[in-house]
Chain A
């Protein structure tokens, strides 16, 4: 179960990189109408930033759980 969680974190880290770096993604966002009342490009950067932050915080808590389980 713990192993699966760590695999999930690895996939999440990869998703962070893809979301932040994949050019077609921000090309597409560029032409989108406002989301949640905010410009689409701003929403894109905010969501990517929150996603990256959440991944590291979650990884730390899962790592701590794993250490405690040993």
Chain B
């Protein structure tokens, strides 16, 4: 226990020391919310990975690979495909962000659709959808601390300890805002995904050489995908990958990464740096999970595969390192979520209908982050049987931002009425379908409620774009926005009038 907790404490102290050494006073809310748009490709790449892959990758997705086999690869495919989306929208989003000082995802919605109200709606959907995942992330640390105590802590005590540690960590997130998040993501990311991948490869070698487990020795059912005639439905894999791909950039804490880079070039370079690392990490994790399913202990507790295999292979030292890796991944995800939500509370809720000074915005963001941390920590200590269902529902809801977001970036015809009506109707469709038909998948060939909502959303958005076209002035404003995205350097003077109200 001294070894495992010693490694965790050592890592925690290292991250906090790095944050203390790099602390500097924020000159503006832009500094606090998007780190002054100052990060190069290396920081961007690691920050994306550390926010994208939560600690649950090692437990939930490692467990999925151990329990269900090759279908778990859907997480890797959508994690890579979503970066293609980032690559395609980087030019427009970063340029608009720089030109109009955008700080949050709803800021972009307000600019594109020239509407204050859409900023509030997008922020509310983003904040509400993020809370169940934040609570789940904190609860997952309970499992970590239980294993690190070598079974001496009960689950409730372990959850309380986990929540206390991650709440303490938020002191630096609140104090330093986005700069702290991105800088700590670099340290946490190196541990989680570089050292993590090395440990995974070592474990694969151990499973093959010492345990004699090979892919060929696993049951054939591990390599079967739901197809025609399956109970999940033939479109199940399609639904999983599409939902993950378009949904990824709908999360406010992921989207804001597009505003923290120092240039479009850095954003694109970060994609080129992050993808090979993501590929290696994902393949290693999922192959490890599948091979580890051959261990007798893992068959009973697949979600604990990361801890069980580490302890069996390398005793308490490797168990401690495994815990450190999972803590690093969890901290990155939780910090990013809390920071982005705090910025949204200040910028998109309080700051939307009244003019606030930069110090006021920073104060409200910090206060919001403290409240959110306290609320999530409290919820994480409760027994909430519907929490996982709420988290799944949240994903079906958040992807409704995809239609106004992506079409808004790439299509000039969309308008505020279509964006708002589409989002609201899509969200309601997803919620009602989930509530009324819990066994929906079997009746929709595997399509999720979120994708059906997305189809409604898209239909409404496109229909209103043609039925209620933009006024001539508004269309000119939108045309000018798209011009700015193409030629950022020469247009400062010509297009100042396109700033949204």
Where the two chains meet, the residues of A that have a C-beta atom closer than 8 Å to any C-beta of B are 13, 16-17, 20-23, 26-27, 29-30, 37-42, 45-46, 48-50, 52-53, 55-57, 59-61, 63-64, 67
Contacts and interface: CB of A to CB of B under 8 A. Distances in A.
A24 to B, nearest CB: 9
B272 A49 contact: no
Contact of A52 (B81, B88, B223, B283): B81
Interface string B220-258: 100111011000001101100110010000000000000
B265 A67 contact: yes
A63 B70 CA distance: 34
B81 A17 contact: yes
8 contacts: A17-B81, A21-B238, A23-B234, A26-B225, A27-B225, A53-B276, A53-B279, A64-B265
Nearest to A16: B84
B225 A21 contact: no
Contact of A56 (B73, B78, B84, B216): B84
Contact of B215 (A16, A17, A21, A42): A42
Interface in B63-103: 70, 73, 76-78, 80-81, 83-84, 87-88
The 6 closest A-B pairs by CB, nearest first: A60-B272, A39-B223, A45-B73, A52-B80, A53-B275, A27-B227
A61 to B, nearest CB: 8
Contact of B272 (A21, A23, A46, A57): A57
Contacts of B404: none
Interface in B247-297: 265, 268-269, 271-272, 275-276, 278-279, 282-283
A40 B69 CA distance: 13
Contacts of B241: 20-21
A65 B81 CA distance: 23
**B contact patch SS:** helix
B264 to A, nearest CB: 9
Contact of A46 (B87, B245, B283): B283
A47 B192 CA distance: 25
A42 to B, nearest CB: 5
Contacts of A53: 80, 275-276, 278-279
B337 to A, nearest CB: 25
Interface of B: 70, 73, 76-78, 80-81, 83-84, 87-88, 215-216, 220, 223-225, 227-228, 234-235, 237-238, 241-242, 245, 265, 268-269, 271-272, 275-276, 278-279, 282-283
A62 B81 CA distance: 19
Contacts of B84: 13, 16-17, 52, 55-56
A56 B271 contact: yes
B223 A63 contact: no
B88 A13 contact: yes
A41 B224 contact: yes
Contacts of B78: 20
Contacts of A30: 224-225, 227
Given A42-B73, A49-B76, A56-B271, A20 B81 contact: yes
A63 to B, nearest CB: 6
A52 to B, nearest CB: 4
A45 B272 contact: no
Contacts of A63: 265, 268
Contacts of A59: 87, 268, 272
Contacts of B269: 60, 64
Contacts of B245: 20
A40 B241 CA distance: 19
B168 to A, nearest CB: 37
B76 A21 contact: no
Contacts of B283: 46, 49
A21 B242 contact: yes
B52 to A, nearest CB: 14
B434 to A, nearest CB: 23
A31 B225 CA distance: 10
Given A50-B279, A56-B275, A23 B235 contact: yes
Contact of A39 (B215, B235, B238): B215
Given A39-B215, A48-B77, A56 B265 contact: no
Contacts of B83: 52, 56
Contacts of B76: 45, 49
Contacts of B237: 23, 26
A10 to B, nearest CB: 9
A33 B269 CA distance: 38
A45 B69 CA distance: 12
Contacts of A27: 225, 227-228, 234
A56 B228 contact: no
A57 to B, nearest CB: 5
